Amino acid sequence: MDVEKLEKVCRILGKVHSILFITGAGISADSGLPTYRGIGGLYDQKHTDDGIPIEEALSGAMLAARPEITWKYVYQIEQSCRNAKYNRGHKVIAEMEQHFSRVWVLTQNIDGFHHQAGSKNIIDIHGDMHQLMCTRCGDVRHVADYCGLAIPPLCHACGAVIRPQVVFFGEMLPEEKYWQLAKEIEKGFDVIFSIGTTSVFPYIAGPVLEAKRRGWPVIEINPANTEVSHLADIKIAAGAAKTLDVIWTQFQSPSKSFSS
């Protein structure tokens, strides 16, 4: 990693009170999750073994018409996450929330790792696969995993199909989360971190564009170039967990050398 860039990040952190972290599938890669496309970035085949595109299988329309198809692939996604847990990158962000006056996380991930790591101010814009909701009566419950669930699972109260509270293809973003993001952006941030996301969605790239308009520094941590790399004041081409750990360790112990 570039020591000079890491030192610049630490200097910025020494002057700020508020931070927005924007995270994508890349921050969970160090937990062993694939950075694939599909809902939550966790699927990598053009077509499913049912012969249809994954975007069709994981759509709101398919859930309504043939919930067993949607649940088949939702279940596969959950299985890929089941034995994984949050990593040091998630934990560093949670620790920063305790240190700075105001810290928010905007995440595209549906794995729930930011919650598990201890962050409180989270806008999980695509939802959380562990939150299940009845499509008829609206009953909501949290599950640790999908073990024992039927495909599709049915509500114990009314018998209707249950769905994970995630945004499927063709569905709108949750209005309350969208407006929560807008409210926090309006308040402003002293610095924005874009971590492990390609930023292809307008609502993910939008805060970075707003940062440039309002003069907030932007720090990107991503091994690859993305839609917002050219806007970053500091671009660190490395993995999320190790980079965040190094930055946070150095920030808390400024006398310690990055190379030690």
| Rounded-to-integer distance, Cα 172 and Cα 167, Å | 7
Distance between the two ends of the chain, CA-based, in angstroms? 13
Alpha-carbon gap, residue 26 to 71, rounded angstroms: 25
Instruction: Pick the catalytic residue from 126, 130, 142, 230.
Output: 126
Q: Where are the alpha helices (DSSP H) in the chain?
A: 3-13, 25-28, 54-57, 60-65, 67-81, 88-99, 113-117, 175-187, 202-214, 240-252
Sheet containing 18-23, strands listed edge to edge, beginning at the edge strand earlier in sequence: 122-124, 102-107, 18-23, 191-195, 218-221, 234-236
Q: State yes or no: is 126 an active-site residue.
A: yes
Query: What would the two tokens of residue 198 be?
Result: 């390609």
Give 56's contacts (C-beta < 8 A, 6+ positions apart): 62, 169
Point out the residues that are catalytic. Answer: 126
